[in-house]
Amino acid sequence: MRVLITGHTGFKGSWLTLLLAEMGHEVHGYSLREETESLYRQAQIADFLKSSTYGDIRNQETFKNAILSIKPDVLIHMAAQAFVLEGYLKPIETFETNFTGTLNVLRFAQEHELRAVLIVTTDKVYKIIDGNHKYKESDYLGGSDPYSASKVAADVAAQSIAKLSEKSVISIARAGNVVGGGDYGSNRIIPDLFRAAATGTRAVIRNPGAIRPWQHVLDCLYGYWRIIENSLENSKSEIWNIGPSDNLKVSVSQICESFQRYFSLDNLIEVSKFNSPQETNYLRLDSSKIYSQLGWRNRLGTEQSLAWTFDWYKDYLAGNSAQSLTLKQINEYLQL
């Protein structure tokens, strides 16, 4: 299968490139250039790509030329401004990237009749309901911050165009927070903990009581691929939640405690004294649809997901190759 990934130089894009390459697919990428400190660079992800095009997803001409050159069967759209706090700092740019960029993907997928398209949005598109609510695909949408709102706009646009599409099957994936080795994103809990441990500083935690649908990046990405397979088999555009199948309610503070125990560290964290921008305190997904209809399940429970992530960072600090560590975990995962 010839697959084009937008956002392939990012954390999830790097893992997805290696996963699909190991599964025997021809992988192409379209993205901004990688960050200096990134899994893409550390693991030499470019070695596993058939082609890599550097460009802004908002640039119609550059993206159109990439589509014409690659002629992909499948497109997985992950290119985005993916940080909630960055959205507050750059709201217009966030909307342009997440909404306008998605429109470009949808436009050219239609024009060139790609067989299947997956638009990756987020669990943060849902309108917040007080209490311990687990969000279903049919729940109302309603992002309040710029990042979430821009993803809602992209999600609704994809739903609308999917209904009009006669050639391409357009599906939507809403996934939550992922963990895994090689993530260096700012204001993400495990990267912040890793940086603090590596530099002998303390990680500043914004919301220690927040509960998120944590899952290993490989479980999430394999869920994306199951959706693609289903799209090709059934030619039906659908929306899918991808969240952990266990019932553990794991908070940010519990992840911090696990990290400190694993690395035998004390006093690694401090709680921010400043008022942080509004974020949802409790967020969990009802993923029963993908469980029952596609047979997808998390192969790694929450504790195992954290252990795999901590192992990756520990072994990388010990001098092991980022590429070999990532490939080792991918192959172990595929054998589970």
The lowest-confidence range among 43-52, 102-111, 174-183, 269-278 is 269-278
What's the average model confidence in pLDDT over 102-120?
95
Residue, of 226 and 130, whose pLDDT is higher? 226
> What confidence score (pLDDT) does residue 96 get?
97
Ramachandran sector of residue 295 (left: φ over 0; alpha: ψ -120 to 50; beta: rest)? left
pLDDT at 131 over 80: no
> Three-class SS string for 236-283?
CCCEEEECCCCCCCCEHHHHHHHHHHHCCCCCCEEECCCCCCCCCCEC
pLDDT tier, 274 (very low <50, low <70, confident <90, very high otherwise): low
When comparing pLDDT for 65 and 247, which is higher?
65
Distance (Å, whole) CA 261 – CA 156: 43
Residue 223 has pLDDT above 90, yes or no: yes
CA atoms lying within 13 Å on the CB side of residue 176: 26
Q: What is the pLDDT of residues 60-92, one digit of tens each?
A: 999 999 999 999 999 999 999 988 889 999 999
Distance set, CA 178 to CA 114, 202, 221, 222 (Å):
28, 22, 10, 12
Supply the pLDDT for residue 163: 94
pLDDT at 250: 83
Task: Count Cβ atoms below 10 Å from residue 166 Cβ, excluding itself.
Answer: 6
Dihedral over alpha carbons 323, 326, 332, 333 (to 10 degrees): -140
Q: Is the pLDDT of residue 123 over 90?
A: yes
CA distance 217 to 276: 26
Q: What is the mean pLDDT of residues 297-326?
A: 94
**What φ, ψ does residue 105 adopt, rounded to 5°?**
-60, -45
Q: Which residue has the tokens 């391409």?
A: 168
**CA–CA–CA angle 49, 55, 61 (5° rounding):** 115
What stretch of H or E contains 219? helix 217-234
Distances 24 to 18, 27, 226 between C-alpha atoms, Å: 10, 9, 15
pLDDT over 90 (residue 249)? no
pLDDT confidence of residue 325: 98
pLDDT at 279 over 70: no
- If phi > 0 it is left, if psi is from -120 to 50 it is alpha, else beta; for residue 80 that is beta
pLDDT of 272 reads 75
Q: Which residue has the tokens 């159109």?
A: 64
pLDDT digits (tens, 9 = 90+) for 3-62: 999 999 999 999 999 999 999 999 999 999 999 999 999 999 999 999 999 999 999 999
Q: What is the pLDDT of residue 211?
A: 80
Angle at 111 between CA 106 and CA 116, to 5 degrees: 55
Residue 197: per-residue pLDDT? 87
What is the mean predicted confidence (pLDDT) over 221-242?
97
SS3 assignment, position 302 = helix
Q: Supply the mean pLDDT for the chain.
A: 92
pLDDT above 70 for 280: no
Q: Contact, 181 vs 8, CB < 8 A? A: no
Cα 287 to Cα 278: distance, rounded to the nearest angstrom: 25
Which domains, from first to last, does the chain contain? 2-335 (3.40.50.720)
Question: Would you state the structure tokens that stand for residue 7, as one six-digit string?
Answer: 């956002």
User: 């893409």: which residue's tokens?
Assistant: 40
pTM: 0.94
CA 313 to chain CA centroid, Å, is: 19
